[in-house]
Structure 1
Amino acid sequence: MDDSHPTPAAKSSLVFVFLVVLIDMLGFGIIMPVLPKLITSITGDTLSGAAVYAGWLAFAYAAMQFVFGPIIGNLSDRFGRRPVLLGALGGYAIAYMLMGFSASILWLFAARIIAGVMGASFSTAYAYIADISPPEKRAQNFGLIGAAFGLGFIIGPAVGGILGEYGTRLPFFAAAALAALNLVFGFFMLKESHPPEKRRPFDIARANAVVALRGLHGQNKIVFWYATALTVWMTAHVVYPIIFAFYAMEAFGWSEWTVGMALACVGLGAAIVQGLLIRVLIPRIGERNAVIIAALSMAISSVFYVVAGPDQGWLIFLAIPVGSLQGLFQPSINGLMSNAVSDETQGELQGAVASLQSMASVIGPPLFAAVFAAFTVAGSIYYLPGAPFGLAGFVSLVALAIFLRGYALHCTSDEVEPPADAKTTAL
């Protein structure tokens, strides 16, 4: 595809892929302000106890992505991206409807399991972008998916906070309707990006993260380091969607509306960084420096969450713009990994990476929820609602160290061309 003169069909397909991710994140964002109230109303538990349930709900969602990410990625390599993306939207509509009608915590778990299977289609969305983007533009175009995440966190929490005033369940029905509408749009507008001549047979033996990454490691060992860094990073990053609402309500007594507006600010920052700023910064400073900035921004912003007292909720609105630069991390690494493997294995790469990221989401939510409960439950030795964010800031620095090691190997490897910014002076 000529990136400077995209065809109308290419434009409509890019819009659809953007909307697939947006709808999923919109549904996820909608539930964030109202989930604490929904869980406490169903279980009768405290915020500390409800946070533990939320952690395990996220665990169920991520576990499904871990299992199905490589399967769906490999299926898209065999049958094309279009049927996978359309099927995911139908599944989203069902999952959100089920959440809206949930009468018990088991209903919520069933809905999140379905949503987790459908969410595994993120790997196909990344593969679609790789299919239609020239190598030098992939990192920037991957930022479109990041922008969809950001917009989902602008619209979703804001809508959830507003609709939550009229009923805790209303936001879920709104998300189901949007997924159904996008399915209709995609059926008529989405064009297949993976031509038959580049497809390969589906092999169930390759359809898991361990085997897939082993094969990719054999093709290019650099991918293993980048994937590991991204997995550790995502372990830290999940603290926001899992803990933020519980933290804000516990530490500052915020309402669902205030939580929704704060999360909308988080989404706005992510959309600006990944939708606009990334296209300016990465060509100028390169992927390496972009990743360094991202990791440091997360570590610095986490300090605000830790030190903010009961009457210092305003500090969070300082932390949000500082932390928004962390949106540079994932698109930069995805661009490096995508350029390091063949065109025929883009779906396998993204499926394996999505599965590893889901592994991080399997580990992170119960971990951060347990830390939050331990530091907020009645009788705790030390009351510190921001403790999970402090832990996340430390983990982000570990991810940076792993990435820098992999990047050093990348610059000296004979298997791939050195990154464009290999000679850029370190920050």
Structure 2
Amino acid sequence: DYLIHAWAPSIVWLFLGRFLAGITGASFTVASAYIADVSTKENKAKNFGLIGAAFGIGFIIGPGIGGFFGEIDIRLPFYIAAGLTFANFLFGYFFVPESLTMENRRQINYAKMIPGVSLFALRNYKGILLLISAFFLANLAGQALPSTWSYYGIERYDWNPRQIGLSLMVVGLLVAVVQGFLVGKLVTKFGKRKVIIYGFLLWTVGMFLFSFAHEPWMLYAFLIPYALGGIAGPTVQGVISNQVSEKEQGILQGSITGLVSITAILGQFIFAPVFYYFIRPETSIYFPGAPYALAAVLLLIAFILATTAIKRMNVEPE
């Protein structure tokens, strides 16, 4: 994918590269299933948080690599990305052991490998569907940021590319700190139930405050409760994983990742048009923060669903 991007003579080739990336980009799913395999029930939330921390760190370093080397040669960042991906391949092939023991492995069912089929597997997990629904809505609400963040900064604060990049680095740093260091500690101290409840609440409050951030410093300040709300995501994922047998972690994580991918598609059709509607010259109500207000409503619904779900599932209150 990245080599095709580096060599691409036209935009058609860029789309081909993205297509290949999509059909071979299940590493997040496999990583989640791997973590579920090698973790105990007690430390799954902490270990799932490490994925979020890795994403946050990449969110800090990645734009810097792209910006710096892109000024040298526009194709150079893609060669670097290809090299990093190949290093991942080598590391996984030579150093990462198999996570499943022989007794926990199953025969391959090729019918379940058809794209989209994994989503239908969710109907087999009726006991956790409510919590999965909350997770879906939270991820859908989260798409408000990547869909409109840059445009929001330009529209409301007249930000330039450097200021946008700096804000994204702050987002990545906060995500890395919260999910890499706080999730495990808070779950140990307060228990999964409180972490999920207060995490969703902080998510909702932070997102709602974004919509009324009239000054840049307010946006940065409101990032704190929003980022802290991220403690809920890995904890929810850990609780869901604990409800499924060791043999089904791959299917479960694939289904969850499929839902997250759907939110990335839906988010582009929801939040960007809402943003445009409320900033267009002929609009009767000028409200550039409208996408974040809408996302806050979705998070509030997710908060209600999650609270109801963990009470029904008797998630430990300690």
Q: 1:226 to 1:304 in 2, by over 3 A?
A: closer
Q: Provide Cα deviations, 1:344-389, integer angstroms capped at 9, x if missing partner.
A: 1111111111112222222122211111222233433333322211
CA shift for structure 1 position 100? 4.3
The CA RMSD measured in Å over matched residues stands at 2.2
SS for the counterpart of 1:134 is coil
Tell me, in whole angstroms, the C-alpha distance in 1 between the residues paired with 2:87 and 2:307.
43
Q: Indicate yes or no: 2:4 matched with 1:98.
A: yes
Whether the aligned pair in 1 keeps the contact of 2:3 and 2:78 (CA below 8 Å) is yes
Tell me, in whole angstroms, the C-alpha distance in 1 between the residues paired with 2:75 and 2:148.
20
Which moved further from structure 2: 188-197 or 271-280?
188-197
2:29 to 123, 134, 154: 123
CA shift for structure 1 position 295? 1.9
Question: Structure 2: which 5+ residue stretches go unaligned?
Answer: none
1:200 to 106, 124, 129: 106
Q: Indicate yes or no: 2:172 matched with 1:267.
A: yes
Name 1:237's counterpart in structure 2. Answer: 142
Q: Indicate yes or no: 2:312 matched with 1:403.
A: no
Question: What letter is aligned with 1:278?
Answer: V
Whether the aligned pair in 2 keeps the contact of 1:158 and 1:257 (CA below 8 Å) is no
2:84 to 154, 161, 178: 178
CA shift for structure 1 position 400? 1.1
Q: What TM-score do you get using the length of structure 1 for normalisation?
A: 0.68
CA shift for structure 1 position 214? 2.1
CA shift for structure 1 position 253? 2.3
Q: 1:376 to 1:169 in 2, by over 3 A?
A: farther
Tell me, in whole angstroms, the C-alpha distance in 2 between the residues paired with 1:235 and 1:296.
16
Q: Indicate yes or no: 2:130 matched with 1:211.
A: no
Q: Indicate yes or no: 2:136 matched with 1:227.
A: no
Q: What TM-score do you get using the length of structure 2 for normalisation?
A: 0.90
Name 1:319's counterpart in structure 2. Answer: 222
Tell me, in whole angstroms, the C-alpha distance in 1 between the residues paired with 2:35 and 2:89.
19
Q: 1:247 to 1:161 in 2, by over 3 A?
A: farther
Q: 1:324 to 1:162 in 2, by over 3 A?
A: farther
Structural mapping, 1:364-403, within 5 Å:
364-403=267-306
Name 2:44's counterpart in structure 1. Answer: 138
Q: 1:157 to 1:293 in 2, by over 3 A?
A: farther
Q: 1:247 to 1:116 in 2, by over 3 A?
A: farther
2:94 to 169, 174, 188: 188
* Identity percentage of aligned residues: 37
Question: Structure 1: which 5+ residue stretches go unaligned?
Answer: 1-93, 412-418
1:252 to 154, 157, 161: 157
Name 2:65's counterpart in structure 1. Answer: 159
Structural mapping, 1:303-382, within 5 Å:
303-309=208-214, 312-382=215-285
Tell me, in whole angstroms, the C-alpha distance in 2 between the residues paired with 1:274 and 1:319.
17
Name 1:111's counterpart in structure 2. Answer: 17
Q: 1:113 to 1:252 in 2, by over 3 A?
A: farther
Q: Provide Cα deviations, 1:112-139, integer angstroms capped at 9, x if missing partner.
A: 3332223333111111011111221111
Give the aligned length.
315
Q: Indicate yes or no: 2:184 matched with 1:279.
A: yes
Whether the aligned pair in 2 keeps the contact of 1:232 and 1:395 (CA below 8 Å) is yes
Name 1:295's counterpart in structure 2. Answer: 200
Question: What letter is aligned with 1:398?
Answer: I
CA shift for structure 1 position 292? 2.1
Q: 1:384 to 1:284 in 2, by over 3 A?
A: same
Tell me, in whole angstroms, the C-alpha distance in 2 between the residues paired with 1:107 and 1:369.
26
Tell me, in whole angstroms, the C-alpha distance in 1 between the residues paired with 2:142 and 2:28.
17
Whether the aligned pair in 2 keeps the contact of 1:375 and 1:387 (CA below 8 Å) is yes
Question: What letter is aligned with 2:101?
Answer: P
Tell me, in whole angstroms, the C-alpha distance in 2 between the residues paired with 1:161 and 1:319.
27
Tell me, in whole angstroms, the C-alpha distance in 2 between the residues paired with 1:149 and 1:263.
12
SS for the counterpart of 1:277 is helix
